[in-house]
Structure 1
Amino acid sequence: MSIAKPTAKKQHNPNKAVLLSILLAGLGQIYNRRYIKGVLFLILEVSFILTLGSFLNHGIWGILTLGTLEGTDHSIILLIYGLISIILIAFAITLYVANVKDAKKDAIKIRDGVKILTPREALKNVWDVGFPYFFVTPGLIMLVFIVVLPLLFTFTLAFTDYSQYNQPPRALLSWVGFENFERLFIGNDGGVWRDTFVSVFSWTVVWTLVATTLQISLGLFLALIVNDPRVKFKRLIRTILILPWAVPAFVTILVFSAMFNDRFGAVNTDILAIFNLSLPWLQDPFYTRIALIMIQTWLGFPFVFALFTGILQSVSKDWYEAADVDGASRMQKFKHITLPHVLFATAPLLIMQYAGNFNNFNIIYLFNEGGPPVRGQNAGGTDILISWVYNLTFELNQYSMAAAITIILGLIVTGFAIFQFTRTRAFKEEEKT
């Protein structure tokens, strides 16, 4: 190792190294006599400017203007180019900041007379310390373009006027600010979007709470019964109760869709016909919603049942014996021993059940495609937010409105999950360890 000379310590100026690095990446390292590192930074910056300079310029122009010539400029492509340019610039800024910090750190070491590693020692140190980052970085970069870029595209699309009647390249898109959100919340277009959003959002909340709570309650009730020592043939009963989980969900939904058919379904023709009844399961939103809740309860309770069954078997019998000695009733033992233990162990998974049903597209679409239609709304009577977004995107071509609703949907799910997870005792106990 080489040590900076005492005379060089006072003359070496870290501020000068920082200024040189800001002017051109690598100059600060060259000033610090770290020639290999300086040349590498210099090559990276020059290569970035020469190869991507024109693309970045075109991309930034595109995302700001979304095109100027109708029939020639494609606003969507320009928007994507602009987002890619922003990501590349973010990467470049990160490397540039790293270049400045590195130059300043080495300059301070030289000024203070700290030992400076030789190129071979520095390379070995970088390999030893940065070994994990060399393998993680390619995956992170890929993640940015596969996950972050589509999210950014959806986010930005919500602030444009992209619709069925305004599609590029025939027409150019424009930035409209929060106009799409105002149509949803204020109803400045006559109230159609606001009324539909309120209706769909309300049903989504009711659907999530009622369907999920019923499947959890039924799963817990059956698990308690099967776990009772007085019940015989436990294995057979557990096998029968888990069978609905073994059948693919989409098959079960299609079968139930046929069973609830108004004209030839088994529910009307074979079951309700005994009581001289025939209900419009697929024509009246009220009955369709009831059918959907019953089907989701049937689909969801086996998983909850299996989950609770395993947890109940881990509850110590000594607790119940101590409760019997204290004269606790069956309900008191359930309230103070069984339920807290079960919820403590399963709270994160139960929260995921609610979040999953909030975005449960399959059952809504496969059963009746979100129908029946409702007069004065552009969503079906059983559409939830996610199925409404699907219809807006692939059937009505209201892309910007679909993107705006997607942002709202994402914020709701994210906020709900963060709020619930941070208040779950299991996570609080984990933080204390």
Structure 2
Amino acid sequence: MTNNQAEKKTGLSAPRNIATLLSVLVPGLGQLYNRRLLKGFILLIVSISFLVTTWDYIDIGIWGLFTLGTIPREHHSIQLLLQGLISLIVLFFGICIYAYNILDARKDAKTREEGKPIPTLLEGISNFYDRGFPYFLILPGLVMLLFIVVLPLLFMLALAFTDYNQYNSPPRNLLSWVGFANFTDLINIDIWKNTFLSVFTWTIVWTVVATTLQIILGFFLALLVNDKRIKFKRTIRTVLILPWAVPAFVSILIFSALFNPTFGAINRDILSHFEIMIPWLSDPFWAKIALIMIQTWLGFPFIFALFTGVLQSVPADMYEAADVDGGTRWQKLRLITIPHVLFATAPLLIMQYAGNFNNFNIIYLFNEGNPAVRGQNAGGTDILISWVYKLTFETNNYNMAAAITIIMGLIVMGFAFFQFRRTAAFKDEGERY
């Protein structure tokens, strides 16, 4: 019996099973069994170093993640929660190294069973450069992503299932896991239910109406400027893009002063001639109207610039063919212009809706979400994102703010995913790749 035949045994005595079992028991032993001595020693040293340096931290972190502390004033629930989440991330890297150790040992053992030569050190380095080097380069970015983006998201998700608020905050008190109680409170407790339904409804209306108006206005102006009969197009385009050139922060503050019912120019210099005085800032309805008008003004220049470029790319022979067939202006607009524009810009338009859904700046800078509404803990013009800001920084209801943030995230992700899947541009990209 040759060596290759002897190694092609079945059952537990097969090299692949022996190498796998050894790697499961002690990382690196499988590689040593496969005569990959350098790789085996490296994996063994890395595994031992990982356990020695992180064991105590992970042990305390996992304990704190489940208990959130047991002794008030001595244990800080927030610190334990963060340490627990970091421990999960560190443990994830450890599990990845452990899994790689097992899979690598089994792959090399299968190579031995097939009678193929085991790669030498130089061949292993060459294979790593060809296949693994790109992953090695993105590893630092992945680590930063986990700790800068994923960790805060996990922390926010965790807070939504605790009782962390202004009346129960560490280190004086310990936090507890409350399950879905914060979400049920949004439905069962009157003040939370009334506020949530009111703010959520206004957020949807605000998103749909303000975004749709800025898209319609931008498209209409782009059609006018693109008409061959219009002269001085460059000047007109420059003037229409000016609102986009001015920082939105400055524009919103100026509009807040213009809409002031006491000294604002809109009431004092314009509407006063018709003996009309509108409470723009003190009445929720008129404040919402003002916000929608301001957002339409701020948002249409981008849409105008976007549509202007797309309209110039529509093939002229399509319109000429429509003229030959006797097509009307409305038919050319409906069957040629609009489909072409939507195909090219649908993903960006969807992002406009998603952006306005979380448009905190205009709501807070205009009137801080006011005026106040009786029976609610949010202002009359607060949208979900500005309400979350108030719950976090003004009333310290961190648990409810986190719960509402999760709901917001699910809504935006669901809407964006559904709409992206329906757009022709997204489907075309999917088929292409």
After TM superposition, is the score higher than 0.5?
yes
Q: Distance in 1 between matches of 2:141 and 2:64?
A: 28
Any stretches of 5+ residues in structure 1 without a counterpart?
none
AA aligned to 2:366 is: F
Q: Distance in 1 between matches of 2:376 and 2:6?
A: 81
Aligned to 1:404: 403
Aligned to 1:313: 312
Contact preservation (8 Å) 1:8, 1:111: yes
Contact preservation (8 Å) 1:192, 1:377: yes
Whether 1:395 aligns to 2:394 is yes
Q: Distance in 2 between matches of 1:12 and 1:417?
A: 51
1:90 maps to which of 89, 92, 104: 92
Alpha-carbon shift at residue 72 of structure 1 (Å):
1.0
Aligned to 2:76: 74
Alpha-carbon shift at residue 8 of structure 1 (Å):
4.7
Alpha-carbon shift at residue 338 of structure 1 (Å):
1.0
Matches within 5 A, 1:316-327: 316-327=315-326
Q: Distance in 2 between matches of 1:334 and 1:325?
A: 15
Aligned to 1:156: 158
Aligned to 2:293: 294
Any stretches of 5+ residues in structure 2 without a counterpart?
none
AA aligned to 1:36 is: L
Contact preservation (8 Å) 1:161, 1:175: yes
CA shift digits 1:180-219 (9 cap, x unpaired): 00011x22x3x11111111101000000000000000001
Q: Distance in 2 between matches of 1:243 and 1:229?
A: 23
Aligned to 2:383: 384
User: Which is worse superposed, 229-238 or 58-67?
Assistant: 229-238
Contact preservation (8 Å) 1:285, 1:372: yes
Aligned to 1:61: 63
Contact preservation (8 Å) 1:262, 1:281: yes
AA aligned to 1:399 is: Y
Contact preservation (8 Å) 2:248, 2:298: yes
Whether 1:17 aligns to 2:16 is no
Q: Identity across aligned pairs (percent)?
A: 66
AA aligned to 1:212 is: T
Aligned to 1:266: 265
Contact preservation (8 Å) 1:4, 1:110: no
Aligned to 1:344: 343
Alpha-carbon shift at residue 118 of structure 1 (Å):
1.7
Aligned to 1:225: 224
Superposition RMSD in Å? 1.4
Alpha-carbon shift at residue 353 of structure 1 (Å):
0.8
Q: Distance in 1 between matches of 2:4 and 2:382?
A: 76
Whether 1:114 aligns to 2:113 is no
Kindly tell me the number of residue pairs found equivalent between the two proteins: 428
AA aligned to 2:403 is: A
TM-score of the two chains, using structure 2 as the length reference: 0.96
Contact preservation (8 Å) 2:191, 2:375: yes
Alpha-carbon shift at residue 31 of structure 1 (Å):
1.6
Alpha-carbon shift at residue 356 of structure 1 (Å):
0.7
Q: Distance in 1 between matches of 2:59 and 2:395?
A: 35
2:47 maps to which of 28, 45, 64: 45
AA aligned to 2:16 is: P
1:125 maps to which of 124, 127, 130: 127
Q: Distance in 1 between matches of 2:3 and 2:343?
A: 61
Q: Distance in 1 between matches of 2:122 and 2:301?
A: 61
Q: Distance in 2 between matches of 1:122 and 1:269?
A: 79
Q: Distance in 2 between matches of 1:165 and 1:244?
A: 45
Contact preservation (8 Å) 1:4, 1:115: no
CA shift digits 1:266-298 (9 cap, x unpaired): 111111101101011000000000000000000
User: Which is worse superposed, 220-229 or 107-116?
Assistant: 107-116
Secondary structure, aligned partner of 1:281: coil
1:56–1:27 distance in 2 versus 1, CA, 3 Å: same
Alpha-carbon shift at residue 128 of structure 1 (Å):
2.9
Secondary structure, aligned partner of 1:387: helix
AA aligned to 2:277 is: S
Aligned to 1:105: 107
Alpha-carbon shift at residue 119 of structure 1 (Å):
2.3
AA aligned to 2:96 is: T
Alpha-carbon shift at residue 326 of structure 1 (Å):
1.6
Whether 1:200 aligns to 2:199 is yes
AA aligned to 1:200 is: V
Secondary structure, aligned partner of 1:135: helix
Contact preservation (8 Å) 2:4, 2:114: no
User: Which is worse superposed, 91-100 or 120-129?
Assistant: 120-129
AA aligned to 1:66 is: L
Secondary structure, aligned partner of 1:205: helix
Q: Distance in 2 between matches of 1:178 and 1:207?
A: 28
AA aligned to 1:250 is: F
Alpha-carbon shift at residue 343 of structure 1 (Å):
0.9
Secondary structure, aligned partner of 1:126: helix
AA aligned to 1:228 is: D
Contact preservation (8 Å) 1:262, 1:282: yes
Whether 1:334 aligns to 2:333 is yes
Q: Distance in 1 between matches of 2:342 and 2:6?
A: 70
Q: Distance in 1 between matches of 2:315 and 2:134?
A: 44
Q: Distance in 2 between matches of 1:206 and 1:4?
A: 76
AA aligned to 1:408 is: I
Aligned to 1:175: 177
AA aligned to 1:111 is: E
Q: Distance in 2 between matches of 1:314 and 1:45?
A: 58
Contact preservation (8 Å) 2:7, 2:15: no
Contact preservation (8 Å) 2:72, 2:171: yes
